[in-house]
Amino acid sequence: MSNLKLGKLPDRTPSKITITVSADLSQALKDYATLYRQTYGESETVAELIPFMLAEFLEGDRAFAKARREGFSANFTIEKSRRVPGSGSE
């Protein structure tokens, strides 16, 4: 077997996830898509933006990154925020 510098590529099969969001969060996502278009001159749908938004969120969550590095167990908990997404309390 060859010793290629590039390892085997990871599974890139997309996974479909369906969610329901509050009216406020839905509007905020639409507003974000509008601002994205105004900023970059390219129109992207909310559905196209969400995977990248979630990836950025997860990459920026230090407690989550630390837990993944340390191989957290099934009963691992991260201190919960008091904010409820889309509730207007952000």
The total number of residues shown for the chain amounts to: 90
The 10s digit of each residue's pLDDT in 52-66 is: 999 999 999 999 999
Give residue 90's pLDDT. 46
List of the chain residues with pLDDT < 70: 1, 74-90
Structural domain harbouring 55? 45-74
Q: Classify burial at 44, counting beta carbons within 10 Å of its beta carbon; exposed 0-12, middle 13-18, buried 19 or more.
A: middle
- 64 within a domain of the structure (yes/no): yes
Nearest-10 Cα torsion for 73, 74, 79, 83: 140
- 63 within a domain of the structure (yes/no): yes
List, in order, residues 6 or more apart from 6 with CB less than 8 Å away: none
- 66 within a domain of the structure (yes/no): yes
Give residue 19's pLDDT. 95
User: Is 89:83 a contact under the CB 8 Å cutoff?
Assistant: yes
How many domains does one find in the chain?
1
The 10s digit of each residue's pLDDT in 38-48 is: 999 999 999 99
Q: What is the pTM of this model?
A: 0.69
Give residue 31's pLDDT. 98
